[in-house]
A and B are shown apart, each in its own frame.
Chain A
Amino acid sequence: DAGVIQSPRHEVTEMGQEVTLRCKPISGHNSLFWYRQTMMRGLELLIYFNNNVPIDDSGMPEDRFSAKMPNASFSTLKIQPSEPRDSAVYFCASSLGTGRLEAFFGQGTRLTVV
Protein backbone atom coordinates (compact mmCIF):
# COMPACT_ATOMS: atom_id res chain seq x y z
CA ASP A 1 0.00 0.00 0.00
CA ALA A 2 1.22 3.51 -0.80
CA GLY A 3 0.22 4.82 2.60
CA VAL A 4 -1.75 7.99 3.25
CA ILE A 5 -1.41 10.32 0.29
CA GLN A 6 -1.77 14.06 0.60
CA SER A 7 -1.75 16.74 -2.05
CA PRO A 8 -0.36 19.20 -2.70
CA ARG A 9 2.87 18.86 -0.74
CA HIS A 10 3.36 22.60 -0.74
CA GLU A 11 0.89 25.42 -1.26
CA VAL A 12 1.59 29.13 -1.34
CA THR A 13 -1.43 31.38 -1.65
CA GLU A 14 -2.43 34.96 -1.11
CA MET A 15 -4.55 36.05 1.81
CA GLY A 16 -8.22 35.81 1.01
CA GLN A 17 -7.90 32.98 -1.47
CA GLU A 18 -9.58 29.61 -1.08
CA VAL A 19 -7.30 26.67 -0.29
CA THR A 20 -8.22 23.01 -0.67
CA LEU A 21 -6.08 20.25 0.79
CA ARG A 22 -6.64 16.65 -0.25
CA CYS A 23 -6.14 13.30 1.38
CA LYS A 24 -6.43 9.71 0.29
CA PRO A 25 -6.42 7.34 3.28
CA ILE A 26 -5.05 3.82 3.31
CA SER A 27 -7.48 1.47 1.63
CA GLY A 28 -9.70 -0.27 4.16
CA HIS A 29 -9.16 2.25 6.93
CA ASN A 30 -12.39 3.47 8.48
CA SER A 31 -11.15 6.51 10.37
CA LEU A 32 -9.58 9.66 8.99
CA PHE A 33 -8.05 12.53 10.94
CA TRP A 34 -6.93 16.04 9.98
CA TYR A 35 -4.18 17.64 12.09
CA ARG A 36 -2.42 20.98 11.97
CA GLN A 37 1.16 21.43 13.15
CA THR A 38 2.77 24.73 14.10
CA MET A 39 5.83 25.60 16.12
CA MET A 40 3.76 27.38 18.72
CA ARG A 41 0.97 24.86 19.24
CA GLY A 42 2.41 21.55 18.08
CA LEU A 43 0.03 18.99 16.59
CA GLU A 44 -3.64 19.84 16.95
CA LEU A 45 -6.53 17.64 15.87
CA LEU A 46 -8.91 19.61 13.68
CA ILE A 47 -11.54 17.03 12.78
CA TYR A 48 -11.97 13.32 12.38
CA PHE A 49 -14.31 11.05 10.44
CA ASN A 50 -15.45 7.52 11.08
CA ASN A 51 -16.98 5.65 8.14
CA ASN A 52 -17.09 8.94 6.21
CA VAL A 53 -19.14 10.68 8.91
CA PRO A 54 -17.67 13.66 10.80
CA ILE A 55 -17.53 12.67 14.46
CA ASP A 56 -15.78 15.56 16.17
CA ASP A 57 -15.00 18.91 14.59
CA SER A 58 -14.39 20.76 17.83
CA GLY A 59 -10.80 21.43 16.81
CA MET A 60 -11.74 23.36 13.69
CA PRO A 61 -10.55 26.85 14.53
CA GLU A 62 -13.15 28.93 12.70
CA ASP A 63 -16.01 28.76 10.25
CA ARG A 64 -13.49 29.49 7.53
CA PHE A 65 -12.42 25.86 7.87
CA SER A 66 -14.51 23.01 6.51
CA ALA A 67 -13.86 19.35 5.80
CA LYS A 68 -15.64 16.71 3.79
CA MET A 69 -15.32 13.01 3.18
CA PRO A 70 -17.57 12.15 0.24
CA ASN A 71 -16.36 8.55 0.12
CA ALA A 72 -14.04 6.14 1.89
CA SER A 73 -11.07 6.99 -0.30
CA PHE A 74 -11.05 10.78 -0.32
CA SER A 75 -11.25 13.74 2.01
CA THR A 76 -10.75 17.48 1.66
CA LEU A 77 -9.95 20.27 4.06
CA LYS A 78 -10.91 23.69 2.79
CA ILE A 79 -10.01 27.13 4.09
CA GLN A 80 -12.02 30.04 2.72
CA PRO A 81 -10.88 32.78 2.95
CA SER A 82 -7.32 31.97 3.97
CA GLU A 83 -5.32 34.17 6.36
CA PRO A 84 -1.58 34.38 7.13
CA ARG A 85 -2.14 32.77 10.55
CA ASP A 86 -3.37 29.65 8.79
CA SER A 87 0.19 28.99 7.64
CA ALA A 88 1.16 25.58 9.01
CA VAL A 89 1.71 21.99 8.02
CA TYR A 90 -1.54 20.08 7.68
CA PHE A 91 -1.45 16.33 8.18
CA CYS A 92 -3.97 13.69 7.33
CA ALA A 93 -3.94 10.34 9.13
CA SER A 94 -5.99 7.16 8.90
CA SER A 95 -6.53 4.07 10.98
CA LEU A 96 -8.49 0.83 10.79
CA GLY A 97 -10.79 2.02 13.52
CA THR A 98 -11.01 4.82 15.96
CA GLY A 99 -8.38 5.83 18.51
CA ARG A 100 -7.90 2.27 19.69
CA LEU A 101 -5.84 1.37 16.68
CA GLU A 102 -2.55 2.47 15.13
CA ALA A 103 -2.69 5.68 13.12
CA PHE A 104 -0.69 6.25 9.95
CA PHE A 105 0.18 9.72 8.74
CA GLY A 106 0.65 11.29 5.35
CA GLN A 107 3.63 13.46 4.45
CA GLY A 108 1.68 16.64 5.09
CA THR A 109 0.88 19.79 3.14
CA ARG A 110 2.94 22.85 3.98
CA LEU A 111 0.65 25.84 3.58
CA THR A 112 1.98 29.37 3.37
CA VAL A 113 -0.49 32.24 3.20
CA VAL A 114 1.11 35.55 2.26
Chain B
Amino acid sequence: KQEVTQIPAALSVPEGENLVLNCSFTDSAIYNLQWFRQDPGKGLTSLLLIQSSQREQTSGRLNASLDKSSGRSTLYIAASQPGDSATYLCAVSNTDKLIFGTGTRLQVFP
Protein backbone atom coordinates (compact mmCIF):
# COMPACT_ATOMS: atom_id res chain seq x y z
CA LYS B 1 0.00 0.00 0.00
CA GLN B 2 1.41 3.37 -1.03
CA GLU B 3 2.16 5.73 1.84
CA VAL B 4 3.21 9.34 1.43
CA THR B 5 4.99 11.30 4.14
CA GLN B 6 5.81 14.97 4.26
CA ILE B 7 8.43 16.58 6.45
CA PRO B 8 8.33 18.97 8.18
CA ALA B 9 4.68 19.17 9.19
CA ALA B 10 5.03 22.90 9.77
CA LEU B 11 7.61 25.52 8.90
CA SER B 12 7.92 29.19 9.80
CA VAL B 13 10.55 31.31 8.04
CA PRO B 14 11.35 34.98 7.49
CA GLU B 15 10.68 36.50 4.13
CA GLY B 16 13.44 36.06 1.58
CA GLU B 17 14.65 32.65 2.69
CA ASN B 18 15.07 29.78 0.29
CA LEU B 19 13.39 26.69 1.61
CA VAL B 20 12.90 23.00 0.87
CA LEU B 21 9.84 20.86 1.52
CA ASN B 22 10.23 17.12 1.50
CA CYS B 23 7.98 14.32 0.33
CA SER B 24 8.68 10.60 0.51
CA PHE B 25 6.71 7.63 -0.76
CA THR B 26 7.02 3.91 -0.16
CA ASP B 27 6.23 2.45 -3.58
CA SER B 28 8.53 3.74 -6.32
CA ALA B 29 6.35 2.40 -9.14
CA ILE B 30 4.57 5.69 -9.75
CA TYR B 31 3.12 7.35 -12.82
CA ASN B 32 3.76 10.86 -11.57
CA LEU B 33 4.05 13.14 -8.57
CA GLN B 34 2.11 16.34 -8.14
CA TRP B 35 2.63 19.26 -5.76
CA PHE B 36 -0.38 21.28 -4.64
CA ARG B 37 -0.93 24.40 -2.62
CA GLN B 38 -3.94 24.82 -0.33
CA ASP B 39 -4.90 28.13 1.25
CA PRO B 40 -7.05 28.06 4.42
CA GLY B 41 -10.66 27.25 3.59
CA LYS B 42 -9.87 26.86 -0.09
CA GLY B 43 -9.41 24.11 -2.62
CA LEU B 44 -6.16 22.68 -3.96
CA THR B 45 -4.18 24.46 -6.61
CA SER B 46 -1.84 22.39 -8.74
CA LEU B 47 1.69 23.79 -8.71
CA LEU B 48 3.85 21.26 -10.53
CA LEU B 49 3.46 17.82 -12.08
CA ILE B 50 6.49 15.59 -12.55
CA GLN B 51 6.11 12.53 -14.73
CA SER B 52 7.90 9.38 -13.62
CA SER B 53 10.42 9.76 -16.44
CA GLN B 54 11.35 13.29 -15.42
CA ARG B 55 13.80 14.47 -12.79
CA GLU B 56 12.50 17.96 -12.15
CA GLN B 57 10.04 20.67 -13.10
CA THR B 58 10.26 24.42 -12.63
CA SER B 59 7.66 27.15 -12.45
CA GLY B 60 8.80 30.62 -11.49
CA ARG B 61 10.33 30.48 -8.02
CA LEU B 62 9.31 26.86 -7.57
CA ASN B 63 11.40 23.85 -8.47
CA ALA B 64 10.36 20.28 -7.80
CA SER B 65 12.68 17.31 -8.11
CA LEU B 66 11.92 13.62 -8.22
CA ASP B 67 14.14 10.69 -7.29
CA LYS B 68 11.87 7.78 -8.01
CA SER B 69 14.31 5.06 -7.01
CA SER B 70 14.71 6.45 -3.53
CA GLY B 71 11.05 7.42 -3.22
CA ARG B 72 11.67 11.12 -2.66
CA SER B 73 10.67 14.50 -3.99
CA THR B 74 11.56 17.99 -2.88
CA LEU B 75 9.86 21.29 -3.53
CA TYR B 76 12.28 24.18 -3.51
CA ILE B 77 10.87 27.69 -3.02
CA ALA B 78 13.30 30.49 -3.79
CA ALA B 79 13.16 33.91 -2.13
CA SER B 80 10.05 33.12 -0.10
CA GLN B 81 7.33 35.74 0.29
CA PRO B 82 4.46 36.17 2.77
CA GLY B 83 2.10 35.28 -0.06
CA ASP B 84 3.67 31.81 -0.16
CA SER B 85 2.09 31.05 3.23
CA ALA B 86 -0.16 28.03 2.74
CA THR B 87 -0.22 24.27 3.15
CA TYR B 88 1.76 22.37 0.53
CA LEU B 89 0.69 18.84 -0.36
CA CYS B 90 2.40 16.26 -2.48
CA ALA B 91 0.53 13.42 -4.11
CA VAL B 92 1.69 10.36 -6.03
CA SER B 93 -0.14 8.30 -8.55
CA ASN B 94 0.77 4.66 -9.04
CA THR B 95 -2.53 3.33 -10.19
CA ASP B 96 -5.35 5.53 -11.30
CA LYS B 97 -5.51 7.33 -7.98
CA LEU B 98 -3.69 10.18 -6.32
CA ILE B 99 -2.44 9.36 -2.83
CA PHE B 100 -1.77 12.43 -0.72
CA GLY B 101 0.68 13.23 2.00
CA THR B 102 -0.47 15.08 5.11
CA GLY B 103 1.08 18.35 4.01
CA THR B 104 3.54 20.96 5.21
CA ARG B 105 2.03 24.11 6.67
CA LEU B 106 4.27 27.02 5.68
CA GLN B 107 4.25 30.46 7.20
CA VAL B 108 6.46 33.19 5.77
CA PHE B 109 6.59 36.27 7.97
CA PRO B 110 7.67 39.75 6.88
Q: List residues of chain A with CB under 8 Å of any chain B CB.
A: 31, 33, 42-43, 45, 48, 50, 55-56, 91, 93, 98-108, 110
Contact = CB atoms under 8 A, between A and B. Distances in A.
Contact of B32 (A91, A93, A100, A110): A100
In the complex, which of the residues B93, B97, B100 has the most CB atoms of chain A within 10 Å of its own CB atom? B97
A99 B95 contact: yes
Chain B interface bracket (under 10, 10 to 19, 20 to 34, 35 or more):
20 to 34
Contacts, number: 56
Determine chain B's interface SS by DSSP, over half rule: strand
B94 A99 contact: yes
Given A43-B89, A100-B32, A105 B96 contact: no
Contacts of B34: 102-103
B78 interface: no
A98 B102 CA distance: 22
A42 B43 CA distance: 13
A111 to B, nearest CB: 14
* List of 4 A-B pairs having minimum Cβ-Cβ separation, nearest first: A99-B93, A98-B96, A105-B44, A43-B100
A107 B41 CA distance: 9
Contact of B43 (A48, A99, A100, A106): A106
Nearest to A97: B96
B86 interface: no
Interface in B23-75: 31-32, 34, 36, 41-46, 49, 51
A42 B32 contact: no
Given A43-B100, A48-B96, A105-B46, 13 more contacts: A42-B100, A45-B97, A45-B99, A50-B96, A56-B96, A93-B44, A99-B32, A99-B94, A103-B46, A105-B36, A105-B44, A106-B43, A108-B43
Nearest to B44: A105
Contacts of B10: none
